[in-house]
Amino acid sequence: MFLERRSFLKFLPVLSGFSLASLKFSEPPKKIALRVIVASDGHYGQPDTDYKSFHADMTNWMNREKLQKGVDFVVFNGDLIHNDPTLLYDFKSTIGNLRMPYYVTRGNHDMVGLDVWQSTWGYPTNHSFVNKEYAFVLGDTSNEKGEYVCPDVNWLKSELAKHADKKGIFIFLHITPEKWTTHGIDCKAVTDLFEQTPNVKGIFHGHDHDQDGQKMKGKKPYFFDGHFGGSWGTSYKGYRVIEIYADDSWQTYQYNPTAAPVLNSFSGKS
């Protein structure tokens, strides 16, 4: 027989050795409204790397997450392939085994033209969508030559204005728009725009394979997710999780699926 908390407390005075101070009642787990995985830098086709195994492992890890904890969708945040445009179809075929929807951004090694990108994915390199009461903005930070490029600030302004009524906006850019990493670039107009937009909650990046943590620019957090492919970077291959809760709070953390530790957790309010 189970006692409700209030009924149980009535018996405490007659229970020798017990006091209210010694008891700890755990809070019930928060209800998750949306759960998202962000993974970057698979570099499908990079010579002298075991890229096929990298992608098979990542697909299996994500499908396991879907089964065990639930995943609403995945964002592959750039460098899907390694330079050769003909690899894009092979990459798409490989991740076709995923059991959840996915979205992609263009990185500097995704050296394909706008027409090829559109015909392959069904949306342009600058793209946004809404899921429940949240907006997700996927911006382009490169071009067909593989150059580092600041996101189109005018397009971003339009998108952020369009989603001004959303509870939160989460932004995905392959290259970080701040020169605080070896491979970042200075895009002050972009970071100023994010700072001035109240419902921008977090900005997520790939590109810097050796970065898996968080940096702050003003009041906005910027996150990195290491890599799951390529020839350099963090000592493990992993991904980042975003959990948005029914009470409008949210958290993100980096995850190493081979050892199961949660890394670099951050909690915020929507």
The predicted model gives 181-193 an average pLDDT of 97
With bands split at pLDDT 50, 70 and 90, how would you rate the model's confidence at 111? very high
CB 161 within 8 A of CB 154: no
pLDDT at 13: 47
pLDDT tens column, 118-140: 999 999 999 999 999 999 999 99
Residues 37 and 184: their CA atoms lie apart, in Å, by 22
CA-wise closest residue to 137 among 128, 125, 149: 128
pLDDT tens column, 10-47: 444 444 454 544 445 556 788 999 999 999 999 999 99
Q: For the chain, give every domain's residue range.
A: 30-269
pLDDT at 270: 62
**pTM over the 0.75 mark:** yes
Residues 106 and 85: their CA atoms lie apart, in Å, by 12
Q: Which CATH superfamily is domain 30-269 in?
A: Metallo-dependent phosphatases (3.60.21.10)
pLDDT at 264: 85
pLDDT tens column, 191-243: 999 999 999 999 999 999 999 999 999 999 999 999 999 999 999 999 999 99
- Higher pLDDT residue, 8 or 99? 99
pLDDT at 170: 98
pLDDT tens column, 233-253: 999 999 999 999 999 999 999
The predicted model gives 68-82 an average pLDDT of 98
Q: Is the dihedral angle over the CA atoms 157, 79, 89, 54 positive or is it negative?
A: negative
